[in-house]
Amino acid sequence: MNRPQVKPDGASAATHRHHGPLQYGPKRADGNTGILEKWLLKKLLELMGSPPLRFVLWDGQEIGLSAEPPAARIVIRDRGALLKLVANPDMQFGEMYSTGRIEVEPSLVALLNALYRSRMRLAPGSLRETLLNWLNRPRSNCLLRARENIHHHYNIGNDFYRLWLDRQMVYTCAYFPTPAATLEQAQVAKLEHVCRKLQLVPGDHVVEAGCGWGALALHMARHYGVRVRAYNIATEQIAYARERARQEGLEERVEFVEGDYREITGTCDAFVSVGMLEHVGVAHYQTLGGVIDRCLKPNGRGLIHSIGVNRPSLLNPWIERRIFPGANPPSLGEMMAIFEPANFSVLDVENLRLHYAKTLDHWLQRFEVAVPRVTEMFGESFVLAWRLYLAGSLAAFTAGELQLFQVVFARAGDNDIPWTREFLYKPGQGDGNL
Amino acid sequence: MNRPQVKPDGASAATHRHHGPLQYGPKRADGNTGILEKWLLKKLLELMGSPPLRFVLWDGQEIGLSAEPPAARIVIRDRGALLKLVANPDMQFGEMYSTGRIEVEPSLVALLNALYRSRMRLAPGSLRETLLNWLNRPRSNCLLRARENIHHHYNIGNDFYRLWLDRQMVYTCAYFPTPAATLEQAQVAKLEHVCRKLQLVPGDHVVEAGCGWGALALHMARHYGVRVRAYNIATEQIAYARERARQEGLEERVEFVEGDYREITGTCDAFVSVGMLEHVGVAHYQTLGGVIDRCLKPNGRGLIHSIGVNRPSLLNPWIERRIFPGANPPSLGEMMAIFEPANFSVLDVENLRLHYAKTLDHWLQRFEVAVPRVTEMFGESFVLAWRLYLAGSLAAFTAGELQLFQVVFARAGDNDIPWTREFLYKPGQGDGNL
């Protein structure tokens, strides 16, 4: 793994840089570790469900709950970092890691896998969890705030995402027909899987809510002969998508609208949203359902693709603050607040969790190759933060902490629905697109 | 349609018997219809969402909201029936129909389809709906009451169900690989579809909660080499299932236990429940989830198959009182109370609504053929009640008022789950069983 040089904001700088296994420096100005620090770190491990991890302090001491070889070591560079970590681990691990005051060996993925596995053994709803959740509650997603939150993540610049996404810039879970498929193949297969589930026919009008860089909208127009109105509030993405439509001569068939899902107008035969719901916020689901209810024709079909969770819970607060402000993946039960009030029938739910783990594995590998360029563009702290985000997401999908739900729905009285799901798995019109 | 002779409990008996199109008798002792009756019936039609129906009174007068030819006519035989119907239509339609004081032309299915279609246009949560729901709230399903409620429906006698179910006595939604499949083929295909979704391998231990007459348990043992412990609280069904296991020499591999789902013990590789959840009651879902959590091994799979609804609502109160005491089909959101507290991952949801409509169509046709025998066994009022129940269910699934959810789940951290769902649609080990 290509480790960038990081300039931490603490006093303990150069002596702790390393390549390969970490070298622990001599005893430091922070002084020796006292009984209190050791007790706090052991308590922290217990609160996390006793994962097989060890803390390594600035003076080289190791603290763990067992003598077993650990799955990973967390190296804490100074006493201030230790205290912050103990006070709010979910938030401060990311803060300290991305500023170089905490390092990890042998890899973030090994550490995070161990952490997620032990966290899942914890009982939900404990006082500690409740308090932390309240402290770290997501930001609101009113119309104005939604734009700010989305700009934070998606307007970093298309050049950054181009470095490690697939050619078509699809920034959502891919669908790997087999685990050995390439990322390029798997993203096209995902677009096809979505189009098949929507049963598109030429001439259909499609509304897409949250269209990213436009790959799905363009694919639908190109291969299924439909007309698409695709909404997004990320300015740079919309500009990129419009340029692609122009280059492909599809601007008559695909209209990219800079607008929020609440600003959708008109009617459609199919409604699709891939990777937007995570940013909507549970409190707004009924509004979203109302928008779909207003647009969808009597025989219309819909698909919502979203990161989710097994039971209502909050995203890791560091990711929510630093990477995805306002993000909040729902449980399947919470998602029903979109469909139930509007009396939609859920026809099909597919959980593609392991496909997102594989997608993230590809992204992380490509990101690591691009690290020198990303460091030039945004600096070392940005690289550490994004590595943590990608590795943390990979670990969360691998451990089953996060899910990926594709939900297909139709109006309650519509009997023009597929008889079985077998057609999804037959060679069909879209295969030439793979 | 073979119409049985019915002796209504009112005074207006013989003159109103008929075959084919209804003949309206002379003016009766109930006297002419007044303005009040007409006003009440028009209000009732409006409350139901203005379906294209007409009421026909004992004196031959027809009452409807439009001059259009109606989809069906509801013939009310006496003023008492009219008043009861207006006071509580959801409950009293079934009461009056099954005692011959209300008749329908041309068919119950035509009437009920029109009714469901117009009901679905009504806004949910109106004061009237709330009050009716409260009046007609389902009975509780404590352990003792659950047994009473189940005995009411399932212990009518195996001979009755044998008259119109398939050979294997499967009393749940079938799976028709194509709409033209026979009921026998479709019930075997359903058992296969469930076994495939559970990914059974020889030697697996399976727990089945609510096993009916044992068809699925026996199929799993016979074709997949698994051991099954199958629970049911309906005495006659258990006796029948044990006898079948003995005849097939499967009693070493399939144990039929007379017990409630709360009495399930031991561990299992697969947990399955087909058509029991409707009787469990939403208040007990977390308990059911706890039972599964206690039993299921770390890499275990589970499947729950249940009638459901698009949004929380109550079963028709007449069906709940007279046919299925305690029954309450959940919304998909309500079903999540089984899975979310125990941190199960929902992997797959399939809605087989149209398959249940087709299953009921087969059952209703077979039932009509068996009417002379059923009339001998239980009398005319029973025949009318069951016809209404089967036709009403057929209409509810056709109109999209009822759904059929098959939910596959696993433990959160289990990565030994199918990569895609393609295997469900490939020729496989079970095909010889069809």
Q: In the listed set A88, A109, A135, which residue is the last one of a domain according to the structure?
A: A135
Q: Is the pLDDT of residue B90 over 70?
A: yes
- A150-159, B36-45, B283-292 — which is least confidently predicted? A150-159
Q: B424 contacts in A (CB within 8 Å)?
A: 421
Residues A329 and A423 in one domain: yes
Write out pLDDT tens, residues B160-202.
999 999 999 999 999 999 999 999 999 999 999 999 999 999 9
Q: Note whether A417 contacts B: Cβ–Cβ < 8 A.
A: yes
How far lies B77's CA from each of B7, B59, B97, B98, B105, in Å? 12, 9, 10, 13, 13
Chain A environment of B412 (Cβ under 8 Å): 120, 310, 399-401
Q: A167 with A179: CB under 8 angstroms?
A: no
Q: Do B333 and A336 touch (CB under 8 A)?
A: yes
A310, B23, B385 from B102: Cα distances, Å: 49, 13, 12
Is there a single domain that holds both residue B52 and residue B81?
yes
From the list B120, B340, B341, the residue facing A413 with the nearest CB is: B120
- Please name every residue paired with A205 in a beta bridge, in sequence order, or none if there are none: A227
Give B347 to chain A, closest Cα distance, Å.
5
Nearest CA among B189, B354, B120 for reference residue A417: B354
Q: Tell me, letter by letter, the H, E, C secondary structure of B179-211.
A: CCCCHHHHHHHHHHHHHHHHCCCCCCEEEEECC
Residue B6's pLDDT is 35
Contact list in B for residue A415 (CB cut-off 8 A) is 354, 398, 400
Q: Say whether both A116 and A199 belong to one domain.
A: no
Mean pLDDT of B271-290: 95
3-state secondary structure of A221: helix
A333 in the same domain as A192:
yes
The whole-number pLDDT of residue A9 equals 36
In the numeric block, which tokens belong to residue B150? 């189940």
Pair B151, B292 in one domain:
yes
Q: Identify the pLDDT of residue B266.
A: 94
Higher pLDDT, A10 or B141: B141
User: What CA–CA distances, in Å, run from A164 to A370, B307, B392?
Assistant: 7, 45, 56
How many angstroms separate the CA atoms of B398 and B82, rounded? 28
User: Contact at 8 Å (CB) between B284 and B393?
Assistant: no
Which of B311, B350, B417 comes nearest A343 by C-beta? B311
- CB of B236 less than 8 A from some CB of A: no
Same domain, A94 and A121: yes
* Residue-range definition of the domain harbouring residue B236: 143-433
Residue A7 is assigned to a structural domain of this protein: no
Chain A, 147-176: which have a CB under 8 Å from a chain B CB? 175-176
Smallest CA-to-CA distance from B330 within B350, B313, B346 is with: B313
d(CA A306, CA A407): 9
Q: Which residues of B touch A411 (CB under 8 A)?
A: 400
Nearest-neighbour CA in chain A from B280: distance (Å):
19
- Nearest C-alpha of chain A: how many angstroms from B114? 12
Per-residue pLDDT tens digits for A365-393: 999 999 999 999 988 888 888 898 899 88
Q: In terms of Cα–Cα distance, which of A222, A211, A357, A220 is closest to A273?
A: A211
Cβ contacts of A392 within 8 Å, gap of 6 or more: A94, A108, A112, A316, A319
**CB spacing of A341 vs B120 below 8 angstroms:** no
CA distance A424 to B9: 55
Mutation choice for B interface testing from A420, A422, A423, A425 by most B CBs within 10 A: A420
Q: Are residues B249 and B374 in the same domain?
A: yes
CA–CA separation, B32 and A375 (whole Å): 91
Residue B15 identity (one-letter amino acid): T
Query: Do A124 and B310 lie within an 8 Å CB cutoff?
Result: no
Please indicate, yes or no, whether residues B119 and B154 belong to a single structural domain of this protein. no
Helix (H, G, I), strand (E, B) or coil at A269: strand
Indicate whether B110 and B224 sit together in one domain: no
Same domain for B148 and B109, yes or no, is: no
Chain A CA closest to residue B422: A425
Query: ipTM strictly over 0.90?
Result: no
Instruction: Of B150-154, B211-215, B235-239, give the range with the top mean pLDDT.
Output: B211-215
Tell whether A354 is within 8 A of chain B (Cβ).
yes
Residue B193 in tokens: 């579809």
The Cα of A341 is separated from the nearest Cα of chain B by a number of Å equal to 7
The per-residue pLDDT for A98 is 86
What pLDDT score was predicted for residue B5?
37
Q: Which two tokens stand for residue A38?
A: 């050791």
DSSP string, B103-160: EEES-HHHHHHHHHHHHTTSPTT-HHHHHHHHHTPPPP--HHHHHHHHHHHHTT-HHH
* Per-residue pLDDT tens over the stretch B333-387: 999 999 999 999 999 999 999 999 999 999 999 999 999 999 999 888 888 888 9
And the tokens for B420?
């895609």
Tell whether B88 is within 8 A of chain A (Cβ).
Answer: no
B415 contacts in A (CB within 8 Å)?
Answer: 354, 398, 400
d(Cα B319, Cα A16) in Å, to the nearest integer? Answer: 74
> Is A341's Cβ below 8 Å from some Cβ in B?
yes
Q: What's the one-letter identity of residue A206? A: V
- Judged by CB atoms closer than 8 Å, whether chains meet at B351 and A351 is answered as no
B169 lies in the same domain as B75: no
| SS3 of chain B: helix, strand, coil, percent, to 5 | 45, 15, 40
Residues 294-333 on A with a CB inside 8 Å of B are: 310-312, 331-333
C-alpha to C-alpha distance for A259 and B18, rounded to whole angstroms: 64
User: Does the pLDDT at position B16 exceed 90?
Assistant: no
**How far is B430 from B434, CA to CA, in rounded Å?**
7
The answer to whether the beta carbons of residues A402 and A356 sit under 8 Å apart is yes
**Residue where one domain finishes, among candidates A108, A135, A162:** A135
Residues from chain B that touch A336, judged by Cβ atoms under 8 A, are 331-333, 336
Residues of B in Cβ contact (< 8 Å) with A193:
none
**Considering only CA atoms, which of A384, A361, A353 is closest in space to residue A4?**
A384
Kindly report the CATH number assigned to the domain that includes residue A28.
3.30.1050
Of A135, A166, A193, the last residue of a domain is A135
Looking at residue B328, what is its pLDDT? 85
Q: What is the CATH number of the domain that holds B305?
A: 3.40.50.150
Using an 8 Å Cβ cutoff, are A383 and A375 in contact? yes
pLDDT at A43: 85
Q: Residue B15: which pLDDT band, with cuts at 50, 70 and 90? A: very low
Q: Does A350 touch chain B (CB under 8 A)?
A: yes
Q: Establish if B419 touches chain A: CB-CB under 8 angstroms.
A: yes
Q: Does the CB of A193 have a partner CB in chain B at under 8 Å?
A: no
- Give yes or no for residue B137 having a pLDDT over 50: no
Structure tokens at A242: 């419009």
Contact at 8 Å (CB) between A307 and A324? no
Q: What is the pLDDT of residue B426?
A: 86
DSSP, res B257: E
Query: Checking phi first, is residue A382 left (phi over 0); if not, alpha (psi -120 to 50) or beta?
Result: alpha
Q: How confident is the model at residue B10 (pLDDT cuts 50, 70, 90)?
A: very low
Residue A182 forms part of a structural domain? yes
- Looking at per-residue pLDDT, the higher value among B110 and A353 belongs to A353
Q: Which tops the pLDDT comparison, A87 or B238?
A: B238
In terms of domains, do B94 and B149 share one? no
Whether residue B6 lies inside any domain: the answer is no
Calculate how close chain B gets to A340, using CA atoms only, in Å.
5
For chain A, 434 residues long, the average pLDDT of each consecutive 10-residue run is 36 36 46 76 85 92 90 93 85 87 90 79 52 48 59 72 95 97 98 98 97 97 98 93 97 96 96 95 95 97 96 74 75 97 97 98 97 92 88 89 96 95 80 53
Task: Give B409 to chain A, closest Cα distance, Å.
Answer: 10
Domain count, chain B: 2
